[in-house]
């Protein structure tokens, strides 16, 4: 059991990295990976929200939607849960943790449209994980995402200092090329674990 959980975690972080293998969460990835600070701020916010929504969505799907035979509307339910959770977290942070709010509060509203969050909940249903597996998978996938965005942001920051990048390639173009090279590197992890 513990080994199975560890495998799910390693697969989610490395072999099936959500950014480099499934190509998810690219919009914030491209707009925020200009500086390391914002990238890691967004990354931590994603870890928090992804894990939390998986914790909430799993029981809703398995104990409410499945017994009622209403799996049809799970897209709507998931997206409302995500939007609601983000709003709630924002309010709680504003009230009780102003320091945290200052650190990554501005990223929270953006997370609702970060496809990583919804994708993790959808994968959890498609692969019919149990509760513990879902939570470990959600945590692993978001850790994988922060690793991806932090590496790309760091490279991009250094590149901006020395880079002689063609005009049309500046911004999104070069970020995607960096991501492509890194994604080649992450292919090297394939076969490490199979899930």
Partner 1 sequence: MTFTEIKKTKSYQTVLDGIWRDHPISSMVLGICSALAVSNTVANAIAMGAGVTFVLVATAVLISGLRKIIPRRVRMITYMIVIASFVIVVDKVLKAYFPEISESIGPYVGLIITNCIIMGRAEAFYSQNNVFHSVLDSVSNGFSYTYTLVAIAIVREILGFGTLLGFQVMPDSFPKWVVISMAPGAFFVVSLFIWITRTLAKVESD
Binding interface with partner 1 (CB under 8 A): 20-27, 30-31, 72-73, 75-76, 79-80, 83, 112-115, 117-119, 122-123, 126, 166-174, 176-177, 179-181, 183-184, 187
Residue in 179, 143, 176, 152 with CA at minimum distance from that of residue 43: 143
User: Judged by CB, which is closer to partner 1: 102, or 169?
Assistant: 169
In the complex, minimum distance from the CB of residue 145 to partner 1, in angstroms, rounded to a whole number: 12
Of 40 and 121, nearer to partner 1 (C-beta) is: 121
Tell me the closest approach of the beta carbon of residue 3 to partner 1, in angstroms.
26
In the bound state with partner 1, the residue whose beta carbon lies nearer, of 4 and 70, is 70
Q: How far is the CB of 93 from partner 1 (least distance, A)?
A: 19
| Residue among 95 and 167 whose Cβ is closer to partner 1 | 167
The CB-of-25 to partner 1 minimum distance in angstroms stands at 7
CB of 123 to partner 1, least distance (A): 6
Q: Which is nearer to partner 1, 60 or 79 (CB)?
A: 79
Tell which residue, 82, 64, 174, 170, has the closest CA to residue 120. Answer: 82
């Amino acid at each position: 059991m513990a080994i199975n959980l560890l495998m799910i975690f390693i697969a989610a972080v490395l072999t099936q990295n959500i950014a480099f293998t499934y190509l998810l969460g690219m919009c914030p990835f491209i707009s925020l990976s200009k500086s390391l600070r914002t990238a890691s701020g967004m990354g931590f916010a994603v870890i928090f929200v992804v894990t939390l929504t998986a914790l909430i969505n799993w029981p809703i799907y398995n104990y409410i939607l499945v017994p009622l035979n209403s799996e049809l509307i799970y897209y709507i339910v998931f997206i409302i849960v995500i939007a609601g959770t983000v709003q709630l977290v924002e309010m709680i942070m504003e009230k009780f943790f102003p320091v945290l709010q200052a650190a990554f509060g501005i990223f929270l509203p953006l997370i609702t449209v970060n496809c990583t969050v919804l994708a993790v909940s959808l994968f959890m249903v498609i692969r019919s994980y149990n509760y513990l597996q879902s939570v470990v998978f959600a945590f692993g996938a978001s850790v994988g995402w922060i690793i991806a965005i932090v590496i790309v942001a760091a490279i991009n920051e250094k590149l901006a200092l020395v880079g002689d990048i063609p005009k049309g390639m500046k911004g999104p173009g070069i970020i995607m090329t960096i991501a492509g090279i890194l994604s080649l590197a992450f292919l090297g992890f394939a076969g490490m674990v199979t899930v």
